[in-house]
Amino acid sequence: MRVPLDLRSTAQDNAAVYYDRAKKLREKAEKAEKAVEESRKELGKFVEVVEKKPRMRRKKQWYEKFHWFVSSDGFLVIGGRDAEQNELVFSRYFEDADVFLHADIHGAPVVIVKNGCTAPDRTLEEAAQFAGSYSSAWKEGLGAVDVYAVKKEQVSKHSHGEYVPKGGFVIKGDRKWFKNIELKIYIGVTQSGIECIPAICGHGRFVSYVEVKPGGVGKGDLSKKLFKLLSSKLDEGKSSWEEEDVTRALPPGGGSLQEGDVDG
């Protein structure tokens, strides 16, 4: 390496010049290193804020406060989660063109097929499996239950002039029966997130799904296992879905997963 020297200056003066240059370069290097370290700290703070930032939840539709699904024929079906919601479904959302379904067992949701009077039998059969699966028959571990369907004018909250207590209804006239309806659902990932539907609908709408029947593990453990299985299939844009969404979608009580029913 060549080092230019000023021959008009003494060796000590030349050394002093290079010493000053080296000192300035060292100071610049120290400042640059300090700046890099500060940048790393700021970046770390930014990452921490992003990780702690609450996930954005998509805006839910009015019917998502209930149990719900859309039938194979495009009809919206809703069901109450408890006695209070059963009353709400009946009083606010049950219209003349709708069909009312109920499992033939104590402790079952009020299920409404919106515009169900024009729905084909396939939709009513799907709604019947939905009504049965969310009834107490599931929690009791039964494999099947009978379900009936009636029109709006056949359902009343009065019996012999007396008002029927919360959760109770009076049914008049002939009922359309769906006998020995199997209790079975599919829960899986769709284009809009996680959905739970009666198995009779088929699994064509799902990116990934699991078949669930009554019995097996408790609901808490079942939710954890299902969320772990399905969350890896959710797109980044659907990452706001959480385990509680799976828990809310499931019928009451535990369930058993059918092996080999998880599609990639």
Task: Read off the pLDDT of residues 137-159 as tens digits, 9 standing for 90 and up.
Answer: 999 999 999 999 999 999 998 87
Strand-pairing partners, residue 119, are none
Q: Is the pLDDT of residue 228 over 90?
A: no
On average, the pLDDT of the chain sits at 84
User: What would the two tokens of residue 244 be?
Assistant: 């509680």
Report the pLDDT value the prediction gives residue 260, as an integer from 0 to 100.
47
CA 195 to centroid of chain Cα atoms: 6
Global confidence as pTM: 0.75
User: Is there a contact between 139 and 183 (Cβ–Cβ < 8 Å)?
Assistant: no
User: What would the two tokens of residue 189 be?
Assistant: 């990932």
Q: Is the pLDDT of residue 236 over 60?
A: no
Show the CA angle centred on residue 149, arms to residues 189 and 159, nearest 5°: 125
Confidence category of residue 38, pLDDT binned at 50, 70, 90? confident
Ranges of beta strands (E only) in 76-222 are 76-79, 99-103, 111-113, 144-151, 155-156, 158-159, 162-163, 170-171, 176-182, 185-190, 193-198, 208-217
Mean pLDDT of 252-263: 74
Give the list of residues 6+ apart from residue 200 with CB closer than 8 angstroms, or none: 125, 126, 129, 184
Q: When comparing pLDDT for 10 and 56, which is higher?
A: 10
What is the spatial distance between Cα 149 and Cα 113, in angstroms, rounded to a whole number?
A: 10
Alpha helix ranges (H) inside 182-218: none
Could you say which DSSP state residue 92 is in?
A: I
Could you say which DSSP state residue 29 is in?
A: H
104-117 pLDDT, tens digit per residue, is: 999 999 999 999 99
